[in-house]
Amino acid sequence: MTTFANSLPLNMPLGRAMGAMVLALVAGFALLGPVLVPGDPFAQSLMKSLAGPDAGAPFGYDHLGRSLWHRLAHALRLSPAIALAAVATAGAAGLILGTLAAARGGWVERLLVILADALMALPGLLLVLIVLAIMPGTALGFWAGLSLVLWVEFFRLTRAATRATLTSPAVQASRLLGFRAAYVFRTHLWPEIAPLMLTAAAFGTATTIMGIAALGFVSVGMRAPTPELGLMMVELLPYWREAPMALLTPVLATFTLLLGLTLLAGGQKQ
């Protein structure tokens, strides 16, 4: 029973707490790794091609002799940064449009719903690919394309929760008592929407990171020599017999990052 204060993180379910911890670990490495062991993710040294770990490169070297430690840290900053930017944009857009649609109704709502339904029918990666072809700059293209794909989920959640809440006796009572829209939003809507937004944001971030990596892996996403998780895997794949650990490094990092996000999102789905 969650009768008394849901004060985080005491009451946070175990899975979520674990997810937050895993993410803190990954973020810690991405931000502090290059500080602890200074180095350059782009510097090549063919002498050290696929060499094992040493003091300057605790995770060893890739086929071009670049430090995997530094490439990984760079990659773990890049796609999460793009993902967070896209999720923040999409979340804000979805929240505003979803509340607007539910509160206004009429043709505003109908139009937004039709647009959201149509976007849902199109594979997200395809939209991202098209936007990438239009926009100059890969990171900017990813941000724009992913925002375009992601807002739909936030919109649907916000609209559904807002609709249900606005017709509840609690909101009716507040209106009868003379409270204004801002109070209704603050005390009735936001407490319902916020947990949904957190879950959707974690899922959205995970999908985004998966998408960037998948496109990198099939060579239509980030371009070499940028260190990116999917790109690193496809670059190291031909050498996996000589240096299995080198390939495993980005694989494990991706899995850990996504596992943290999946746990943070919690059990409930949509």
Partner 1 sequence: MNILISRLAQAATVALLVGAATFAMMRSLPGDAAWRIAAGRYGYDNVNTAAADAVREELGLGGHWFPAFMQWMGDLLRFDFGVSLVSGQPVIAEIGHQLGASLWLALAAIGLSLLIGPPLGILAGLRAGGWLDRGLLVVSTGVKAIPQFLMALILILILSVQLGWLPAAGYGAGRHFILPALALALGLAAVNARIARDAMASIAAMPFYQFAQWKGLSRRQVLWRHGLRNVSVPLLTYLGLQFVMLVEGVVVIESIVGWPGIGHALVHAVFARDVPMVQGTALMLGLGFVLVNALIDLAVARIDPRGAR
Partner 2 sequence: MTLLQATDISVSDGATRLLDPVSLRLEPGEPLIILGETGSGKSLLAQAIMGTLPDSLDAAGQVSIGTRHLRAGADRAAFRRLWGREIAVLPQEPWLSLDPLMRAGAQVADAHRLVRGLPRAEARQQASADLAAFGLGGAAMASYPHELSGGMAQRVAIAAARAGGAPIVIADEPTKGLDAARRDDVAALLLGELGQGGGLMVITHDLALARMIGGRLIVLREGAVVETGMTADVFANPKAAYTRDLIAADPEHWPARETAASVGQTVLRAQGLTLSRRGQVLIEGLDLTLQRGRILGVTGPSGCGKSSLGDALLGLLPPDAGQVIRAPELAPTACQKLYQDPVAAFARKRSLGQSLADVARLHRASAGQIETLLARLRLDPALLVRRPDAVSGGELQRLALLRAMLARPRFLFADEPTSRLDPITQRDVIMMLAGFAREEGLSIALVSHDAALIAKVADDMQQFAQPRPDTAGLRDSGKTMVA
From the list partner 2, partner 1, none, partner contacted by residue 48 (C-beta under 5 to 8 A by kind): none
How many residues bind partner 1 (CB under 8 A)? The answer is 43
What is residue 267's three-state secondary structure? coil
> Looking at this protein, which amino acid is placed at residue 250?
P
Q: Of the candidates 96, 103, 119, 160, which one interacts with partner 1 according to CB under 8 A?
A: 119
Are 59 and 67 within 8 A, CB to CB?
yes
Contact string 132-151 vs partner 1 (x = CB under 8 A): xxx-----------------
From the list partner 1, partner 2, none, partner contacted by residue 183 (C-beta under 5 to 8 A by kind): partner 2
- What would the two tokens of residue 257 be? 């990052």
Gap between the Cα atoms of 140 and 66, Å rounded: 26
Gap between the Cα atoms of 183 and 133, Å rounded: 44
Element counts in the chain: helices (H) and strands (E): 10, 0
Min dist. Cβ of residue 164 to partner 2 (A): 11
Residues found near partner 2 in the complex (CB under 8 A)? 3-4, 6, 168-170, 172-174, 176-179, 183, 187-188, 191-192
Q: Give the nearer residue to partner 2 in terms of CB position, either 134 or 177.
A: 177
Task: Write the DSSP symbol of residue 220.
Answer: S
194-223: contacts with partner 1 (CB under 8 A):
206, 210-211, 213-214, 217-220
What is residue 43's three-state secondary structure? coil
Gap between the Cα atoms of 242 and 50, Å rounded: 8
Min dist. Cβ of residue 223 to partner 1 (A): 12
Look up tokens 């960037």; give the residue.
Answer: 212
Give yes or no for residue 41 binding partner 1 (CB under 8 A): no
Element (H, E) at 160: helix 138-166
The residue ranges that bind partner 1 (CB under 8 A) are 15, 114-115, 117-127, 129-134, 206, 210-211, 213-214, 217-220, 230, 233, 237, 240, 251, 254-255, 258-259, 261-263, 267, 269
